[in-house]
Amino acid sequence: MSVQQGAAAPGMSGLRRTQIRFIVTVLVPTMAFFCVYRFFPVGYAFFISLHDKKLLRAENVYVGFENYARIAADPIFRLSIGNAFYYAVGATICGVIVSLWLTLLLNPIRRGSLMLRLFYFLPQMTNGIAVLLMWSWLLRPRFGLINQLLQQAGYQERVYFLGDPVLAMPTLIMMSVWGGLGFTMMILLAGLRGIPLEFYEAARIDGGNWWKVARFITVPLMKPVLTFVTITGIIGGFNVFGVIYVLTRGGPLNSTMTISYYIYRTGFADRFIGLASAMAFVMFIIIIVLTVVQLRITRENWEF
């Protein structure tokens, strides 16, 4: 309709005029907003990363790529990248496997399914800090509920879930899996409901049991959803900060030091904002690479 109206206007098509108005009234303010609050800070952060910049200090000495050389030689920075990948991959893979398993179990349930979904979604709706504090109490070595239960079950050694360099990261991963279960299940459930029922009917006629249906129909046809959940989960997990800040502060012995927390500590606690900006740029490049991988994988067209 707008095309016809526009065609009547001399010199400039109505469609183009509408487009220009749209650009001026919607896209320009949005782009301006993004330029000011997204692109400029990214550019400025790169600028700062080339300087020996310390917060509160007036001098701002250009040092080229010296900050990048410093972080390349910093063993804690390298460790923090490894830890971030460990957390991201561990939390995502475990989260997707557990969520998928539970989704497949819960999907056939019709009566009370809403309550069950709500139950799994509860951690997502609860205040994150409160949840983390609750976990810290549950996991205490001396009076924590989980250690008490382990002792009653006959395991007498105290388990230092958050105080042992080997156990601390798996414990954080376990907490992440628990916390993100409901959200991942919702996405997987939506994907599951999108699979045409004809496939299941055909499988049933052919005598396929639950396991075979899950293995040969459900999981392969959910590959796009699983890929999306996995890649976005890894990118999100790579940025992990809150759980580290509240529970471990990167310890013990830097075993949970992740790149986000290390950047925060370097930039705001130690005030070396130039160095922290260089770290942030390295992190930015890693996330760009992950995002490109995600786009390449998910750009395939899937048709049932």
List contacts with other proteins (CB under 8 A). Answer: 18, 21-22, 25-26, 29-30, 32-33, 36, 54-58, 140-143, 151, 158, 160, 163-164, 249-253, 265, 268-273
Rounded least distance, CB 88 to other proteins, Å: 23
Residues 6+ apart with CB under 8 A from 239: 84, 260, 287
Closest distance between other proteins and the C-beta of residue 75, in Å?
11
* Residue 53 Cβ vs other proteins, minimum distance, rounded to whole Å: 9
- Give the Å distances, CA to CA, from 184 to 78, 99, 124: 30, 6, 10
Nearer to other proteins, 208 or 252 (CB): 252
User: Of the two residues 91 and 240, which places its CB atom closer to other proteins in the complex?
Assistant: 240
Q: Which of 78/296 has CB closer to other proteins? A: 78
Tokens 């986000």, located at residue: 260
Residue 165: Cβ within 10 Å count = 13
Written as one letter, the residue type at 118 is: L
What is the closest distance, in whole angstroms, from the C-beta atom of residue 29 to other proteins in the complex?
Answer: 4
For residue 242, the minimal CB distance to other proteins (Å) is: 12
- In the complex with other proteins, which residue's Cβ is closer, 221 or 278? 278
Residue 86 vs 140, nearer CB to other proteins: 140
B/e letters for 107-134, b = 16+ CB within 10 Å, e = fewer, are beeeeeeeeebeebeebbeeeeeebbee
Q: Which of 238, 203, 207, 234 is nearest to 221 (CA)?
A: 203
CA distance 40 to 266: 22
Is the Cβ of residue 16 or residue 57 nearer to other proteins in the bound state?
57
**Shortest distance, CB of residue 39 to other proteins, whole angstroms?**
15
CA-to-CA dists, residue 154 to 64, 150, 217, 280, angstroms = 60, 6, 43, 47
Burial of 92 (0-12, 13-18, 19+ CB in 10 A): buried
25: tokens are: 């009234």
What is the DSSP-derived secondary structure letter of residue 51? E
Nearer to other proteins, 214 or 276 (CB): 276
Nearer to other proteins, 201 or 270 (CB): 270
CB of 290 to other proteins, least distance (A): 26
Least distance CB 25 / other proteins (angstroms): 4
> Cα Rg for the chain, rounded, in angstroms?
25
Contact by Cβ (8 Å): 71, 278: yes
